[in-house]
Amino acid sequence: MEPVLLVDARDGWVKLTLNRPTRLNSFDEALHVALAEALDAIAANDAVRAVLLTGAGRGFCAGQDLSAVPTASDGSHDLGAVVKRYYNPLILRLHRLQLPVVCAVNGVAAGAGANIAFACDIVLAARSAKFIQAFAKIGLVPDSGGTWTLPRLVGDARARALMMLGEPMTAEQAEAWGAIWKVCDDDALMAEAERLTAHLATQPTFALGQTKLLLNGSSTTDLARQLDRELDYQRACGATPDYTEGVAAFTEKRTPRFTGRAK
Ligand code: T3D
């Protein structure tokens, strides 16, 4: 049987492909477990300096597999248990991973699938892709951090309408509204996403991880505290070999050779 997650180790980066194409890569338990294990292995491996997340087939991810929601013996569903066990830890893994995570949205991203994409750092989408906050269509609230992330990306008015109406946001709207970095032609998406991830894997990884931490915290703090955090993180970056190398390369007018390390 095909693995539900394809893990493809490249030179300094890893490509993760959700691989349940006949179900539009919706999440069952096996996919959750495989993705959690892969992200934990990546976090523990200093040789990995960037991640690319994408989907197999014509969709990126249709959120929860609606045919595989765990059912108790009395026939009831505790969706809170699924969210607590799988979706919340997944979003926090992506948010806290001290590496750039690129997401290549190759097709429809619905429900949790859309919000998983928005939890990544740099999102590229195929021109034919769309993002659907499908939750209201089945009587649920948006989860996987969508109510936190989407209003910050596109503003409250758009987030509210997208979530209450469940209407698709096209890839071009997503780019124009600031929800994603870039739209690519469908046949150019993967090459562009791989090129970008490979580039990030050669960059000063420690500084990029610190940048991610600063951005993650910026909307829930005040300016004075954020300035203090920038000061601390800048001090840490200034002590890295990559800072020394970056300045030397600038002075010598050559391309820097970053190690990505903190020490
Ligand atoms: O545990 C919990 O439930 C809590 C957590 C919740 C998180 C969530 O994500 S809730 C939201 C769940 N997702 C959805 O409600 C989206 C459901 N899917 C759709 O609305 C549509 O499939 C799409 C808009 C995404 C795509 O439409 P379309 O027309 O391009 O494709 P399709 O024909 O609907 O789907 C293709 C196949 O994938 C189809 O199977 P078939 O008929 O060919 O055998 C369809 O049933 C299957 N599929 C699509 N989405 C799901 C799915 N199967 C299971 N679960 C899905 N979410």
The ligand 1 atom nearest the CA atom of 23: 38
* 24 touches ligand 1 (CB under 6 Å): yes
What pLDDT is recorded for position 185? Answer: 98
pLDDT of 213 above 90: yes
158: which 2 tokens?
A: 């758009």
> What value does the mean pLDDT take over residues 211-219?
96
Q: Whose CA is nearest to atom 28 of ligand 1?
A: 108
- Would you say the CB of residue 136 lies under 6 angstroms from ligand 1? no
- Residue 168 beta carbon below 6 angstroms from any ligand 1 atom: no
For the chain, give the percent of residues with pLDDT over 70.
100
Q: Is the pLDDT of residue 215 over 90?
A: yes
Substitution candidate for ligand 1 out of 24, 31, 76, 88 with most atoms within 8 A of CB: 24
Going through the chain in order, the beta strands assigned E by DSSP cover 5-9, 13-18, 50-55, 59-61, 101-105, 108-110, 122-126, 130-132, 169-170, 182-184
pLDDT of residue 77: 84
Indicate which atom in ligand 1 lies nearest the CA of residue 66: 55
Q: Please determine, for residue 75, whether its predicted confidence score (pLDDT) is greater than 90.
A: no
Q: Summarize pLDDT for 41-72 with one digit per residue, the tens.
A: 999 999 999 999 999 999 999 999 999 987 87
Whether the CA torsion 194, 248, 243, 225 is positive or negative: it is: negative
| Average predicted confidence (pLDDT) for the chain | 97
- State both tokens at 62: 């249709």
Residue 74 confidence (pLDDT) = 85
Task: From 156, 164, 51, 151, select the one nearest 103 (Cα to Cα).
Answer: 51
The predicted model scores a pTM of 0.97
For residue 70, the model assigns a pLDDT of: 79
Find the 34 Cα to ligand 1 centroid distance in Å.
20
Please write down the HEC assignment for all residues of 215-257. HHHHCCCCHHHHHHHHHHHHHHHHCCHHHHHHHHHHHCCCCCC
Nearest atom within ligand 1 for CA of residue 168 = 24
Tell me if 33 CB under 6 Å of ligand 1.
Answer: no
The whole-number pLDDT of residue 105 equals 99
Confidence of residue 145 (pLDDT cuts 50, 70, 90): very high
**For residue 103, pLDDT beyond 90:** yes
Residue 35 — very low, low, confident or very high, per pLDDT cuts 50/70/90?
Answer: very high
| pLDDT of res. 73 | 81
Report how far ligand 1's centroid is from the alpha carbon of 159 (Å): 21
- Does the CB atom of residue 175 touch ligand 1 within 6 A? no
Distance from residue 23's CA to the centre of ligand 1 (Å): 7
